[in-house]
Structure 1
Amino acid sequence: MTAFSLEPAQLAWCAELRALAAERLRPLAEKGEPGRVNRPLVTELGRLGLLRRVFASGALDLCLMRESLARACTEAETALALQGLGAHPVHAHGTAAQRARWLPGVTDGTAVAAFALSEPGAGSDAAALELTAHPDGPSHADGTAHPDATAHPDATAHPDTTAHPDGTGRWRLTGEKCWISNAPEADFYTVFARTTPGAGARGVTAFLVPADRPGLTGRGLDMLAPHPIGALDFDGVPVTSDDVLGKVDRGFRVAMGTLNLFRPSVGAFAVGMAQAALDATLAHTARRGAFGGTLRDLQAVSHQVAEMALRTEAARLMVYAAATAYDEGATDVPARSAMAKLLATETAQYVVDTAVQLHGARALRRGHLLEHLYREVRAPRVYEGASEVQRGIIAKELYARQEAR
């Protein structure tokens, strides 16, 4: 199989996913409250086995799932994707105990996960995050504080998952996270915090933080997109070496590895929305009367529809190519992932906007498919790396490749 031609079994699976989304998931989505976690919807995703497949499949399968669900029910697509994004670091870097504790609940839809990277002052520049993991060693018998033994003399990453020479590895998290999907209603968070001051990307550690830890509070944010997004406040939240995902000071690798997997699938989400808008436009322009015929008879309209289809298919192929490169372990995954997300999200914005224009005022009415897609399509150009960040990644990779020749 190549990246550019799906096999019959894959095409049949995509059709099955679209049917499931329309028949079983959309009714649950319609009963949900905008801006809140729809737990019945998440549970149904688990019951259908789709959440388990997120962790058992490769990047291409993930893209096919997200594209197919998005064509019929964006809420179901987003609920599935957020479970994968929040729990993938546990799946890929967690200890046996961490995986056993949390992944069964994630895959059966009874535990909601969240990926907590962004901060008010560290969005696109994730290495600049300021949520701090302060050392919190045990006290001596005389009641004095344990000396701070976290900093290595050379400020490099620690070779294991503990920060203290006595092996305790205890910290207190202090700071804020913002724009976190599923917050503040998630059951646990993959949290990225600074363990070594002044070390940039090399001083960040990933922690698995259950939502019931003392000192952790949150609030929802009223956003344009209908899925839940919130802010989290950490007031001395206790964590230990048992909560570390991967290694101390190596958390940025955990974050970037997760984003490299999910960026092409953000593109797949965008392609699914673009295809839904295109499908609606084809149906509308074929039946809507205008000037003695239908809209499709007007060259200005038919050419716009052709452009929508052209861009959607080009984006789809780039997403599939990036996902296949990831599955094959190619060396150019960061650039391909960035290209796929950039092209697909920008394309979806164009296609949905054009679809609204061709539908006219009816598309602006609350409850119309395109009104819904118009609100949904804007955010993917910002989250998991804004379009400008993706262009920076692409350029960096191109120049690095040129210099290596």
Structure 2
Amino acid sequence: MLHTDWPFFEDRHRELAWRVPDVAETDLDARCRAFVRALADDWLPHTVARPLDVRTLCLARETLAYHDALADFAFAMQGLGAGPITLFGDDALRARYLPGVAAGERIAAFALSEPEAGSDVAAMQTTAERDRITGTKTWISNGGIADFYTVFARAPEGISAYVVDAEHVEVVERIDVIAPHPLATLRFDGAPATPIGEPGKGMRVALGTLDVFRSTVGAAALGFARRALHEALARVKERQLFGAPMAELPLVQAKLADMALGVDASALLVYRAAWTKDNGAARVTREAAMAKLHATETAQRVIDGAVQVFGGLGVTSGQVVERLYREIRALRIYEGASEVQQLVIAREVLRG
């Protein structure tokens, strides 16, 4: 039974048929830009749809992550970077930016984190005065290649949300990580900015956007985990060990059972959160936090299990499971680290 046959989905979700693009570029920035262009027709319009359909976004990220992490990254950042405009911008702002995002002509980025304000957003030091922003943002995905940034800054009215065109942003440094993708530290020096939503309501914008897209992080982790399980199954079926197929060893079967159980449990949590949001819930803070926490932590274990099944080959550069092992790690940190998700869940449970 395909998980799209579950009652979380409607026929329109089951009928989605996407062609996962492949690109020839080897340079990181060029490859990311090429994915954005290649995703334009079938994929990117879903990232700026009104209303956003979270189940579609999750299905898209699961599918892309299964095949290529950078393709998933390109898709996800278009949605997250443009999300504040989609959800909270006025008609003029949407008309100015969203068509280019959907067409793959403009690359978006979401700039919230700072050197001393990651999980602790209240420590934000970037300021906004008369719609001009000054400060530093770091760990910004698509930093250096984005055409515009949605930026959060401390204004006289409180934390507020803005959009800043890339020509007014200085890229201080590019950041190299174990699973390469465009990532940078940015400096704003009186950069002209256009407000998104009401002044002083930036936390509502940030948290409302993350409330939608956090479930999709779990979906990406689910895609990674499904691919790892697929690779492990193929490996144990083809390899002989101690005179018999590896798949017949009880310890191997137990590991595969745990991996399959984790994948299905993650899928249930991810699509419960997406279904709940799509069916009118104002907030899905608890559901989205559970989905992200379980799916990312479980994917780490599933991928580790796949590497173990492959043995020495599993840590060889160029192997799918080796790539997945590097790619999953960041998902347990960004858009709220696992420990932050635990705090969020506990607070929601205590709130009743």
**TM bucket normalised to smaller:** over 0.9
Picking from 86, 89, 93, the partner of 2:88 is 93
In structure 2, what is the equivalent of residue 175 of structure 1?
135
Q: Quote the Cα distance in structure 1 between the aligned partners of 2:249 and 2:56.
A: 39
Cα contact 2:58–2:216 (8 A) shared by 1: yes
Q: Does 1:217 align with 2:171?
A: yes
Amino acid at match of 1:222: D
How far has the Cα of 1:33 moved from its partner? Answer: 2.4
In structure 2, what is the equivalent of residue 360 of structure 1?
311
How far has the Cα of 1:6 moved from its partner? Answer: 4.1
Q: Partner of 1:351: helix, strand, or coil?
A: helix
Q: Partner of 1:326: helix, strand, or coil?
A: helix
| TM-score, length-scaled by structure 1 | 0.82
Q: Quote the Cα distance in structure 2 between the aligned partners of 1:98 and 1:185.
A: 21
Q: Partner of 2:335: helix, strand, or coil?
A: coil
In structure 1, what is the equivalent of residue 150 of structure 2?
190
Alignment of 1:231-250 (within 5 A): 231-239=185-193, 243-250=194-201
Structure 1 residues 125, 2: CA separation in 2 closer, same or farther (over 3 Å shift)?
Answer: farther
Amino acid at match of 1:227: H
Cα contact 1:35–1:229 (8 A) shared by 2: no
Cα contact 1:217–1:234 (8 A) shared by 2: no
Q: Does 1:10 align with 2:13?
A: yes
Cα contact 1:281–1:359 (8 A) shared by 2: yes
Q: CA RMSD in A?
A: 1.9
Deviations 1:174-226 (A, max 9, x none): 21100000002100000000013xxxxx710101000112x633421111222
Amino acid at match of 1:219: E
How far has the Cα of 1:34 moved from its partner? Answer: 3.4
Query: Percent of aligned pairs with the same residue?
Result: 45
Q: Does 1:272 align with 2:223?
A: yes
Q: Quote the Cα distance in structure 1 between the aligned partners of 2:149 and 2:286.
A: 28
Q: Partner of 1:377: helix, strand, or coil?
A: helix
Gap regions ≥5 residues in structure 1: 136-169, 197-201
| TM-score, length-scaled by structure 2 | 0.94
Amino acid at match of 1:34: L
Picking from 256, 264, 275, the partner of 1:313 is 264
Picking from 159, 166, 180, the partner of 1:204 is 159
How far has the Cα of 1:95 moved from its partner? Answer: 2.4
How far has the Cα of 1:331 moved from its partner? Answer: 5.7
In structure 2, what is the equivalent of residue 153 of structure 1?
none
In structure 1, what is the equivalent of residue 244 of structure 2?
293
Q: Does 1:108 align with 2:103?
A: yes
Cα contact 1:54–1:62 (8 A) shared by 2: yes
Q: Quote the Cα distance in structure 1 between the aligned partners of 2:320 and 2:14.
A: 24
Q: Quote the Cα distance in structure 2 between the aligned partners of 1:128 and 1:347.
A: 31
Q: Quote the Cα distance in structure 1 between the aligned partners of 2:275 and 2:332.
A: 22
State how many pairs are aligned. Answer: 347
How far has the Cα of 1:53 moved from its partner? Answer: 1.8
Larger Rg: 1
Picking from 43, 52, 59, the partner of 1:50 is 43
How far has the Cα of 1:273 moved from its partner? Answer: 0.4
Structure 1 segments, 4+ long, off by >6 Å, are none
In structure 1, what is the equivalent of residue 184 of structure 2?
230
How far has the Cα of 1:335 moved from its partner? Answer: 0.5
Q: Partner of 1:123: helix, strand, or coil?
A: coil
How far has the Cα of 1:124 moved from its partner? Answer: 0.6
Cα contact 1:63–1:264 (8 A) shared by 2: yes
Cα contact 1:89–1:245 (8 A) shared by 2: yes
Q: Partner of 1:273: helix, strand, or coil?
A: helix
Picking from 265, 271, 296, the partner of 1:345 is 296
Q: Quote the Cα distance in structure 1 between the aligned partners of 2:243 and 2:5.
A: 46
Q: Quote the Cα distance in structure 2 between the aligned partners of 1:261 and 1:116.
A: 17
Q: Quote the Cα distance in structure 1 between the aligned partners of 2:79 and 2:222.
A: 19
Cα contact 2:236–2:246 (8 A) shared by 1: yes
